[in-house]
């Protein structure tokens, strides 16, 4: 167990793996294993309150802990729903499956795009969170496929740009490089680094806002 007051001079590069271990080994939401940075999730609720999405599409939802957390935020707002997409949902418990604001789609996100379109209204304000395989190719493909659903003022969040940009793990190149490639080719989106004002984030460059 690490104690903050004993490590005030520890470099950030040594702090991040400690937080990562806590996220992977112990972090849960309503008892459901949740591989999510709580710092970033706080930023998510700020974005949700500010932009008031009708729908959040969460790509890569593992056990469904963050899916449930997003649905609970919508419960408090009194409006909104979540579509969770993953290759398999065998780890998702009934508590998540039975929530009335949650719909689950099993399969590859890009291959399942038609199923997603069938569940949405073109007038809806949509926010997208990408947290799947983290490879450069897949992240870029998801960005290119789902970005068209985000309206001006809305957000597309790409998770885990921290791979090889803070933590020496994950694909290389990965999400960070895919974000750069996407934004270079898509001027309708900009990187909102103001969302990283806690300094520590698992999503460097990952808060993409549609500007037009």
Calpha distance 137→175 (Å, rounded):
9
The answer to whether residues 129 and 59 touch, using CB atoms and an 8 Å cutoff, is yes
Residue 1 pLDDT class (50, 70, 90 cuts):
confident
Q: What residue numbers bound the domain in which 153 lies? A: 4-210
pTM of the predicted protein model:
0.97
Calpha distance 113→83 (Å, rounded):
12
DSSP 191: E
In three state form, how does the secondary structure of 129-187 look?
Answer: EECCCCCHHHHHHHHHHHHHHCCCCCEEEECCCCECCCECCCCCCCHHHHHHHHHHHCC
Domain count, the chain: 1
CATH number at 190 reads: 3.40.50.150
The DSSP bridge pattern shows strands 81-86 and 55-59 to be parallel
Q: How many CB atoms lie within 10 A of CB 148?
A: 12
Per-residue pLDDT tens over the stretch 130-187: 999 999 999 999 999 999 999 999 999 999 999 999 999 999 999 999 999 999 999 9
Residue 58, pLDDT score? 98
Residue 2 pLDDT class (50, 70, 90 cuts):
confident
Per-residue pLDDT tens over the stretch 77-102: 999 999 999 999 999 999 999 999 99
């Amino acid at each position: 167990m690490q104690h903050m007051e004993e490590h005030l001079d520890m470099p950030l590069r040594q702090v991040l793996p400690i937080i990562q271990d806590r996220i992977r080994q112990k972090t849960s939401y309503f008892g459901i294993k949740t591989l999510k940075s709580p710092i970033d999730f706080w930023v998510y609720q700020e974005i949700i309150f500010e932009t008031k999405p009708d729908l959040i599409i969460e790509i890569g939802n593992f056990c469904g802990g963050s899916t449930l957390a997003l649905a609970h935020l919508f419960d408090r707002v009194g409006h909104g729903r979540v579509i969770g997409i993953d290759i398999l949902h065998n780890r998702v418990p009934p508590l998540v499956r039975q929530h009335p604001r949650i719909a689950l789609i099993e399969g590859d996100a890009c291959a399942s795009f038609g199923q997603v379109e069938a569940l949405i209204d073109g007038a809806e304000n949509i926010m997208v969170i990408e947290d799947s395989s983290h490879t450069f190719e897949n992240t870029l493909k998801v960005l290119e496929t789902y970005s068209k659903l985000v309206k001006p003022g809305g957000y597309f969040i790409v998770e885990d740009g921290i791979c090889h940009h803070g933590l020496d793990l994950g694909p290389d190149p990965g999400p960070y490089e895919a974000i750069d490639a996407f934004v270079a080719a898509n001027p309708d989106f900009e990187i909102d680094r103001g969302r990283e004002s806690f300094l520590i984030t698992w999503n460097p460059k990952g808060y993409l806002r549609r500007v037009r």
